[in-house]
Structure 1
Amino acid sequence: MAWRDGKASGGRLTLFMASIILGITALVSIQSFSDNLKENIRLQSKSLMGADFIIDSRQLPNERVQEIIDSLGGAKGMEVNFASMAAFPKNESSKLVRVRGLEGDFPLYGEIETEPADAATSYISNEGALVDATVMLQFELEVGDIIKIGNASLPITGTLISAPGNSAFASSVAPPVIVPFGIIERTGLLQVGSRLDYNYYFKAPPEMDLDALDKELDPILDAENADLDTHTSGSRQLGSSYGNVGKFLNLVAFIALLLGCVGIASSVQIYIKEKLRSVAVLKCMGASRKQTFLIYLIQIAGMGLLGGVIGTIGGILLQLTFPSLLQDFLPFEVQLSLAPQPIIMGLLLGVFMSVLFALLPLMSTWYVSPLQVLRIQETQEERPRKARALVFIGILIFIFLFSLWLLEDLRYAIGFVISIAVTFSILAGVATLFMRGIKKFFPTKWSFTSRQSLLNLFRPNNQTMVLLVAIGVGAFLISTLYFTKDILLAMAQLDSNSDSPNIILLDVQSEQKEDVANSITPKGLPVLDNIPIVTMRMHTIKGRAANDLRQDTTLTMNKWVLNHEFRVTYRDSMISSETLTEGEWVPETPKVGLIPISIADNIARDAEVVVGDTIVFNVQGVLMETVVGNIRTVDWARMQPNFNLVFPKGVLENAPQFHVITTNAPNAEASANLQRELVQKFPNISVLDLRQIVTLIENVLDKIAWVINFMAFFSILTGIIVLIGAVRTSKYQRIKESVLLRTLGAKSKQILKITALEYFYLGVLGSGIGILLSLISSQLLATFVFKAPFVPSLVPFLVLLPGVTLLVLLIGLSNSRSVLNSPPLVVLRKEGR
């Protein structure tokens, strides 16, 4: 019976099966790609790091660290890397790069890929440089050209395509340049303030337990200002980074699947209403409640299974496009394979979610009386509230458990379920209030077509609620993405006035600061800041030594503050990005007592200190006793030099220091001219052009937004299919209305206008409410998450709202053509059978 009845009615439910297919496709593709990505990271973790484990430090290893290196059999390879300006005499240009000085057998795993291929090894004997491929193209460089790094001029012996230890985003800011380790001394760049990283690469014997090694040595190395990283911990960290993006995309796909299920519930409700008389006939012939219920349950389950199969196949095929979409964010080429878990999940979800969301309308068949055959009534008996409540609870529990499985975090899962419930409830509530409002305040003086279009929104078998939910959620997702992107870009935006720095000069030595300033001002550019910087570490906090705190297993303090090398400044006033929250600002060091310092609120929180607590700093070998004089909040989103720790004037002036100088270049040409001259005169200085960084951030956000919009498209497409299916499912009801209207003298033009107005109302209301909800949620995100001002974009209002409305209107009209073209006698004959 299920098969026979399903064959006759299959076309009515095909579109809603398509909505399940879309959701399953999105989920399976993301889940399958995530599994492949994790497996690739696990298999390639050694090649990504270039070793089994590394010991890294900001300085040359001291005696204790060297003993540890020797006890491990000595490093097989080593590296020093730092950011520096590179000059290209061929075209008098310059670029901030990441210099990597290598020696030994690095990489121990993987390979340095170059063009020509032999340059990966010959650069050492030729004392040349391997230059990032993007830089080679950008500055039209060729093998054999000269690159100047500090005081050293080197021939470019090859184009660097890839190498272990390079991150995609870091390479975008400062592309890598590989040189022999022996060249570094000749550059003259190892000066005070130079931010250096020394890495020592090791190959572990097969029997070595890397996790146990990390647990044993990492605390010891932390006390010596060094660190140990294994390829396993690196792969976990990298996998977690990409996994977070995957979890978010999974949630977007899950929302598309939920929309499809809402559509299925709505379609099954109308479908079952039309089958109630058949159910009553079956019961008159002796069919039991269970039999009649199972007939339609098997139909829905079969539809879900078929949708799951097609969606799973589609998801496997769709994941093939992901490597090209995400290639800018991946440090390696992903090898795709079939992952069993997403396939099983796709097949089961199709059946389970179809049945779960169809249970409420299916329950109607259980309570149909055989006497229904003889009764003429538009409504059926109300289903027991207990059964309805159990189904709703089952749906909520499923959504919670599935989101918990995706997010692996109880709080986030609860938050997701609450946000979904709130969003769906608001949209459903708006639809209900809208229909009730029309009934109560019906515009009786409007024209016939306008009144009839409103009446259609609450006619029997109307689909107003499900359509508003589908349209609204799709518009909500897309609008939220636009608004969030605007928030992030606004945080990185530079002020356009000439008093805001957009060029930052780093590592300016004390004896150079006057000459650097004299190189800036003749060009008509201002010297906005000349900031002294002193490096130091925390020696004791509230009387307890940092080494003792590191070994305290009960410590709740964030231990990164114990190992961090702070770069601090001194001045007599606060700047625009700072706000005093506790204590009093002290401009100059008092003649007696401890030195009062200003500490950022994030450091105060992590170090668990308050105003009045004492901290002893190791200032390059000299111990300095201080007291927390005040705590301030810092707007870290402002693109200007900000500091965790600020000393008053009168104490650090004679300490070893370097300077940061800022200026404002009105255009790219002035910036390029200044950089060219500074690199020639002061090769140790690094120049940050903040406009280039903002452009880079904008490009990255555009790419991320494109990927997310690609997945959110599934939600929009699901909403469209729900809309098409809703119109198709209620087509016969519309044909009946059309016949009645024509009998009363209505013309096709009037019926067309009634239909157009109805879908215009649905499009405007659904997309409008979705955009308004996203506006509220984005304001909350800006206030509580990003802590940034929010200026909403007009794109959702000017593009999305009219676009979605027009789309809804076109779909509604195109699917209503058969209603307009059906002669009244056709319907009367069907009704008479």
Structure 2
Amino acid sequence: MNRALRYSWISLGREWRAGELRILALALVIAVAAVTSVSFFTDRVQRAMSLQATELLGADLSITSPQPIPGEFAREARERGLDTARYVSFPSVVVAGDDSELAELKAVSDGWPLRGTARVSEALFGEEQETRSVPGSGEAWVEARLLQLLELSVGDSLEVGEISLSITRVLTYEPDRGGDLFQLAPRLMLNVEDLEATGLIVPGSRVNHRFLVAGDEAAINRYREWASAELAENQRLETVADAQPALRNAIARGEQFLSLAALVAVLLAGGAVAVAARHYSDRQSDTSAVMRCLGASRRFVLQVFTLRLLWLALLASTVGLVLGFAAQGVLAWLLSGWFATELPLPSLWPVFTGMGVGLITALGFGLPALLRIGQVPPLRVLRRDLGAPPPAMWLVLGLAMLTLGVLLLWQAGDVRLAGFVLGGAAVTVAVLWLAALLLVKALTPLRSRGGVALRFGLANLSRRGALSAVQLSAFGLGIMALLLLALVRVDLLSEWEGSLPEGAPNHFMINVQPDQVEPLQALFERHGMERPEYYPMIRGRLSAMNDAPVRPEDYTNPRAERLVTREFNLSFAGDLQPGNRVVAGQWWDPEDPEPGFSVEEGLAETLGIELGDVLEFSIAGERVRAPVTNLRGVEWDSFNVNFFVLSSPGVLEDFPATYITSFHMDEAGQRMLTEAVRQFPSITVLDVRALMQQVRDIIDRASLAVEYVFLFTLAAGVTVLFAAIHATRDLRRRESAVLRTLGASRKQILAGLLAEFMVMGALAGLLASAGASAVGIVLAREIFDLPYTVNPVLWLAGVGGGALGVGLAGWLGARSVLRQPPLLTLRQVG
């Protein structure tokens, strides 16, 4: 073994001049760089969340509730020697002069935060400084974005509800905010002692009360056991491990998506490895035969070539690691808005991941071809027609699928997701290959038409039909992914925006008290606007179904778990709301309704609710029971007010309710909103336009990140093409020599090669455009319920871009076949 190890390393340098090894190494570099760029980035995210875990919570433990948290929790914590603090957060509109803006208010007590420190500055974009204090009474700390929106500076005042607060500092960092993903509005922080004076907290207000605890780990654990037994239905206990679950889930999904995108590059790189290894094994048949004649055993020959592949994989993986580390910096910049602080440097774990991917890819896709080398008979030295037997198809496909499955499971971390992706990839590749093969066959009748260069190119494509089909399907897959991300995503967003009718609601008004409804409607009329309809909203938690308690642990669906732990927005109605339709059961008789609930069909499917089931809701300490009499389909994207659960009249009217409405307003209506907020400080107005823009910005940034990762896919696709070109280099060189001997010029042959590759690129783009259009139609109709129209630019970009890109890459790779004199080529053949 030592002799094989030493000889494989020495011979690797000598064999490096073989183009197959360079292509194989390049494919491995791309595969490792693609995976490690994502791995380094996700490792930095995980390290940031681990290093700042207590800061994500601002404490060691917290108790959250939509209602004020009883004082017994604070008394028990103090008796156990623990530090405590509290804060209340909710959205509200703040006013400065004639301008108003939505802000995320946070009223904090002394001692906040218990873990980590806040950072502030004395002026807009001034020097940051850490602080352990909180705003004093009558003071406000605000984020720079709010100052810019209201055109204010430190020292100015703004109205928060019924009081005026002086801006004393610019808030630059909160340790327990956990990142600015999906933030609706900029932060305004005030002292909790000023909260009551604002008049913003009224019955039914949507607020989040949080009680924070910190101290010795043993004391925290004992307090957690005590508090867990004392929690009410609407209270939730969180530890450091539970901090920011929504953020963690969103980041985890993003990491999975980026990892799967990187694996597409690995798949194509694996194809390049397989093609290059196959050609390399063919060219090494002579070497193997000579070694056998000189006394080397079949086992020794196999060891040498396998070790040579391992050496190459290690070297290429090292280069890929360096490139991956550099590439993750760009990825971190693209997604920088997801995080509130600078990400720490990654650990060494992605290094082992990259090495593992390089070795697995090399062995999984390259080993089947190299195993043939040991089977070359020594007699090949005398008889050139003897060579290695072709590898068994079951071995090639089986090992490739096993390799891809292992990598998918490794990166996705989810057996079900990996299975779906593997099956989808196999079906997609099979369909693309079959379509590519049919397209190549369809070119056969065209070989006798057109100019000399075009006929030559078409003849090459149709003569090597199987190889051309593989190249077409590989490039079609890469181009299709880019088209989906670059164009179909934009088209779907445009269709979604276009599906909204003119004058669709773009504002919501919530936290409206019953006695404020009529004055607010009159205010709309005075400003020349249509009176909006206000709907009652009651907060309630689903506590039982068919007399069986509803518990999160009874569900395996994460969304179902979250739904049963939160409070629902309930309402009652006699008539069916616009945009709602009954899909099962019967709507109640408005004149004599029986007690019952109407449930949105998606919620019913998630929680397993069926017609006739008896639901029990806990509302303000009381319980309400009624059967499900119908299921509704709801147009959520209409931006009208809608509810998951409605009751018939007479079921919920006696419970305290706030009112909600949605309405359309242009810029001229801003004065009306400012007047409304001044007259009724407790109401909250949400500008959906700003929310839609923020979501669109997040989607765009995430899409850019995925497109960036798919650049590795494009590079891997080009490598597949170069591998295929190199695999046919000897054949092309002989063809070129014959054609030049018969009188063809270098210019004519080069034009023929360019025509071949441009036709291949155009066909690959055609396949990609068809695939991207099909996927876009399925997504629009089945997922988003939109009338999708195929964009002709998609086809132009696919066909034209494919022809130019593949044509240029193929032309650059094939020029070398013309450098060798025809006489030398013909002598070598003879």
Q: How many angstroms does 1:365 deviate by? A: 2.3
Of 218, 221, 226, the residue aligned with 2:231 is 221
Q: How many angstroms does 1:155 deviate by? A: 0.7
- Residue number in structure 1 paired with 2:459: 455
Per-residue CA shift, 1:435-486, capped at 9, x if unaligned?
Answer: 44545x5644555433321221254698424432431221122223346734
- Residue number in structure 1 paired with 2:61: 53
What is the CA–CA distance in structure 1 between the aligned matches of 2:351 and 2:224, rounded to whole Å?
36
Bigger mean CA deviation after superposition, 625-634 or 794-803: 794-803
1:538–1:83 CA distance, 2 compared to 1 (3 A) = same
- Residue number in structure 1 paired with 2:585: 583
Q: How many angstroms does 1:55 deviate by? A: 0.9
Give yes or no for the alignment of 1:104 onto 2:115: no
Q: Is the 8 A contact 1:494 1:639 kept in 2?
A: no
- Residue number in structure 1 paired with 2:282: 273
Give yes or no for the alignment of 1:799 onto 2:797: yes
What is the CA–CA distance in structure 2 between the aligned matches of 1:655 and 1:638, rounded to whole Å?
28
Within a 5 Å distance, the mapping from 1:118-133 to structure 2 comes to: 120=131, 124-125=135-136, 127-133=138-144
Q: How many angstroms does 1:265 deviate by? A: 1.4
Q: How many angstroms does 1:579 deviate by? A: 2.9
Q: Is the 8 A contact 1:23 1:257 kept in 2?
A: yes
Bigger mean CA deviation after superposition, 803-812 or 453-462: 453-462
Structure 2: which amino acid aligns with 1:634? V
2:590 alignment partner, SS class: coil
Give yes or no for the alignment of 1:195 onto 2:206: yes
Structure 2: which amino acid aligns with 1:56? T
Q: Is the 8 A contact 1:510 1:657 kept in 2?
A: yes
1:104 alignment partner, SS class: coil
Q: TM-score, length-normalised on structure 2?
A: 0.89
- Residue number in structure 2 paired with 1:567: 569
Q: How many angstroms does 1:183 deviate by? A: 0.9
What is the CA–CA distance in structure 2 between the aligned matches of 1:340 and 1:198, rounded to whole Å?
40
Structure 1: which amino acid aligns with 2:644? N
Structure 1: which amino acid aligns with 2:409? L
1:729–1:461 CA distance, 2 compared to 1 (3 A) = farther
What is the CA–CA distance in structure 2 between the aligned matches of 1:177 and 1:360, rounded to whole Å?
63
Give yes or no for the alignment of 1:233 onto 2:238: no
What is the CA–CA distance in structure 2 between the aligned matches of 1:350 and 1:556, rounded to whole Å?
36
Of 305, 311, 323, the residue aligned with 1:302 is 311
What is the CA–CA distance in structure 1 between the aligned matches of 2:449 and 2:675, rounded to whole Å?
77
Q: How many angstroms does 1:181 deviate by? A: 0.5
Structure 1: which amino acid aligns with 2:94? A
Of 7, 11, 33, the residue aligned with 2:14 is 7
Q: How many angstroms does 1:627 deviate by? A: 2.5
Q: How many angstroms does 1:148 deviate by? A: 1.0
Number of residues of Structure 1 aligned to a counterpart in Structure 2: 815
1:87–1:410 CA distance, 2 compared to 1 (3 A) = same
Q: How many angstroms does 1:26 deviate by? A: 2.0
Structure 2: which amino acid aligns with 1:626? A
What is the CA–CA distance in structure 2 between the aligned matches of 1:87 and 1:219, rounded to whole Å?
43
2:734 alignment partner, SS class: helix
Q: TM-score, length-normalised on structure 1?
A: 0.89
What is the CA–CA distance in structure 2 between the aligned matches of 1:457 and 1:555, rounded to whole Å?
55
1:395–1:572 CA distance, 2 compared to 1 (3 A) = same
1:736 alignment partner, SS class: helix
Of 806, 809, 830, the residue aligned with 1:808 is 806
- Residue number in structure 1 paired with 2:3: none
Give yes or no for the alignment of 1:427 onto 2:432: yes
What is the CA–CA distance in structure 2 between the aligned matches of 1:473 and 1:520, rounded to whole Å?
55
Structure 1: which amino acid aligns with 2:66? R
- Residue number in structure 2 paired with 1:647: 647
1:172 alignment partner, SS class: coil
Bigger mean CA deviation after superposition, 400-409 or 795-804: 795-804
- Residue number in structure 1 paired with 2:4: none
- Residue number in structure 1 paired with 2:415: 410
Q: Is the 8 A contact 2:433 2:469 kept in 1?
A: yes
Give yes or no for the alignment of 1:165 onto 2:176: yes
What is the CA–CA distance in structure 1 between the aligned matches of 2:748 and 2:825, rounded to whole Å?
19
Q: How many angstroms does 1:763 deviate by? A: 0.7
2:363 alignment partner, SS class: helix
2:504 alignment partner, SS class: coil
1:816 alignment partner, SS class: helix
Of 349, 365, 376, the residue aligned with 1:368 is 376
What is the CA–CA distance in structure 2 between the aligned matches of 1:240 and 1:663, rounded to whole Å?
32
Structure 2: which amino acid aligns with 1:503? H
Identity %: 25
Per-residue CA shift, 1:705-737, capped at 9, x if unaligned?
Answer: 011111111111121233234434533432321
Q: How many angstroms does 1:409 deviate by? A: 1.7
Of 77, 85, 89, the residue aligned with 2:85 is 77
- Residue number in structure 2 paired with 1:475: 479
Bigger mean CA deviation after superposition, 809-818 or 283-292: 283-292
What is the CA–CA distance in structure 2 between the aligned matches of 1:672 and 1:469, rounded to whole Å?
55
What is the CA–CA distance in structure 2 between the aligned matches of 1:629 and 1:458, rounded to whole Å?
64
- Residue number in structure 2 paired with 1:395: 400
Structure 1: which amino acid aligns with 2:406? L
Bigger mean CA deviation after superposition, 200-209 or 777-786: 777-786
Structure 2: which amino acid aligns with 1:574? L
Q: How many angstroms does 1:226 deviate by? A: 0.9
- Residue number in structure 1 paired with 2:197: 186
- Residue number in structure 2 paired with 1:512: 516
1:719–1:520 CA distance, 2 compared to 1 (3 A) = same
Per-residue CA shift, 1:324-361, capped at 9, x if unaligned?
Answer: 23210013221104x23321232343234223312232
1:353 alignment partner, SS class: helix
Structure 2: which amino acid aligns with 1:722? V
What is the CA–CA distance in structure 2 between the aligned matches of 1:467 and 1:216, rounded to whole Å?
65
Of 170, 174, 188, the residue aligned with 2:185 is 174
Structure 2: which amino acid aligns with 1:520? F
Q: Is the 8 A contact 1:166 1:176 kept in 2?
A: no
Q: Is the 8 A contact 2:112 2:134 kept in 1?
A: no
1:566–1:361 CA distance, 2 compared to 1 (3 A) = closer
What is the CA–CA distance in structure 2 between the aligned matches of 1:237 and 1:506, rounded to whole Å?
23
What is the CA–CA distance in structure 1 between the aligned matches of 2:510 and 2:220, rounded to whole Å?
42
Structure 2: which amino acid aligns with 1:193? G
Of 486, 489, 494, the residue aligned with 1:485 is 489
Per-residue CA shift, 1:292-326, capped at 9, x if unaligned?
Answer: 44443333332222101111222233334443232
1:509–1:488 CA distance, 2 compared to 1 (3 A) = farther
Structure 2: which amino acid aligns with 1:164? P
Within a 5 Å distance, the mapping from 1:752-767 to structure 2 comes to: 752-767=750-765
1:75–1:198 CA distance, 2 compared to 1 (3 A) = farther
1:587–1:753 CA distance, 2 compared to 1 (3 A) = farther
Structure 2: which amino acid aligns with 1:657? A
Q: How many angstroms does 1:700 deviate by? A: 0.9
Of 673, 683, 686, the residue aligned with 2:684 is 686
What is the CA–CA distance in structure 2 between the aligned matches of 1:562 and 1:715, rounded to whole Å?
42
Q: Is the 8 A contact 1:6 1:299 kept in 2?
A: no
1:399–1:367 CA distance, 2 compared to 1 (3 A) = same
- Residue number in structure 1 paired with 2:696: 698
Within a 5 Å distance, the mapping from 1:315-394 to structure 2 comes to: 315-337=324-346, 339-375=347-383, 377=385, 382-383=389-390, 385=392, 388-394=393-399
- Residue number in structure 2 paired with 1:672: 670
Q: Is the 8 A contact 1:131 1:176 kept in 2?
A: yes
Q: How many angstroms does 1:376 deviate by? A: 5.6
Per-residue CA shift, 1:367-390, capped at 9, x if unaligned?
Answer: 33344444465x9564364xx423
- Residue number in structure 1 paired with 2:260: 251
Q: How many angstroms does 1:792 deviate by? A: 4.6
Q: Is the 8 A contact 2:595 2:650 kept in 1?
A: no
Per-residue CA shift, 1:120-156, capped at 9, x if unaligned?
Answer: 5666335210111222233332100112111111110
1:222–1:418 CA distance, 2 compared to 1 (3 A) = farther
What is the CA–CA distance in structure 2 between the aligned matches of 1:664 and 1:461, rounded to whole Å?
60
